[in-house]
């Protein structure tokens, strides 16, 4: 059986820093909506603190992935929406706590004018692929 997730660094493309250029996967797609820095009660974690918000966002992503039977090893794409690119080091630190540097997913980072509330500094969405199980469910 071939590897369900394959990371590729294509020739002729500048080396990737902090992400992978190409991630090919076969299996069952799991899409996780953009996660915000809200705790289980819907309260904002870390007002004005990018590191605290990033940690909460990745905890929320972890819980959402687990609900689908996945984890960060299955993530093939992350999309970061940040209100200030200066928050990206905090996002990367939180990501590093969950994802090994040798399995970095494809990624996009977009600076936005704002999110659903001005208190949110970032939102992160994920795509994961679970191995095929032979089930059609």
pLDDT at 135 over 80: no
- Say which CATH number the domain at 67 has: 3.30.1330.40
- pLDDT tens-digit map of 1-51: 467 788 888 899 998 888 889 988 899 999 999 999 999 999 999 999 999
Domain-embedded: residue 11: no
Domain-embedded: residue 6: no
Helix (H) or strand (E) holding 75: strand 75-82
Question: Is residue 132 within 8 Å of 29, Cβ to Cβ?
Answer: no
**pLDDT value at position 4?**
79
How many other CB atoms are found less than 10 A from the CB of residue 29?
11
**pLDDT value at position 5?**
87
Angstrom distances, CA of residue 15 to CA of 6, 8, 12, 109, 125: 17, 11, 9, 17, 24
Q: Report DSSP letters for 23-64, one per residue.
A: EEE-SEEEEEEEE-SB-TTSPBSSTT-HHHHHHHHHHHHHHH
Q: Which domain covers residue 49, as residue numbers?
A: 20-130
Domain-embedded: residue 112: yes
- What is the domain count for the chain? 1
Domain-embedded: residue 136: no
- pLDDT tens-digit map of 43-91: 999 999 999 999 999 999 999 999 999 999 999 999 999 999 999 999 9
> In this structure, what are the phi and psi dihedrals at residue 62, rounded to the nearest 5 degrees?
-60, -45
Domain-embedded: residue 8: no
Q: Residue 137 — very low, low, confident or very high, per pLDDT cuts 50/70/90?
A: very low
Domain-embedded: residue 85: yes
Domain-embedded: residue 12: no
| Residue 78, both tokens | 């992350």
């Amino acid at each position: 059986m071939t590897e369900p997730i394959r990371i590729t660094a294509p020739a002729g493309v500048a080396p990737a820093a902090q992400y992978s250029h190409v991630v090919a996967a076969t299996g069952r797609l799991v899409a996780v909506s953009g996660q915000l820095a809200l705790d289980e009660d819907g309260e904002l974690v870390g007002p004005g603190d990018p590191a605290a918000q990033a940690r909460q966002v990745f905890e929320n992503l972890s819980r959402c992935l687990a609900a689908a039977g996945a984890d960060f090893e299955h993530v093939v794409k992350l999309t970061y929406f940040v209100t200030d690119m200066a928050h990206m080091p905090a996002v990367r630190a939180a990501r590093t706590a969950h994802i090994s540097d040798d399995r970095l997913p494809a990624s996009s980072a977009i600076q936005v004018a704002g999110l659903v509330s001005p208190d949110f500094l970032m939102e992160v969405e994920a795509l994961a692929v679970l191995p095929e199980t032979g089930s059609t469910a």
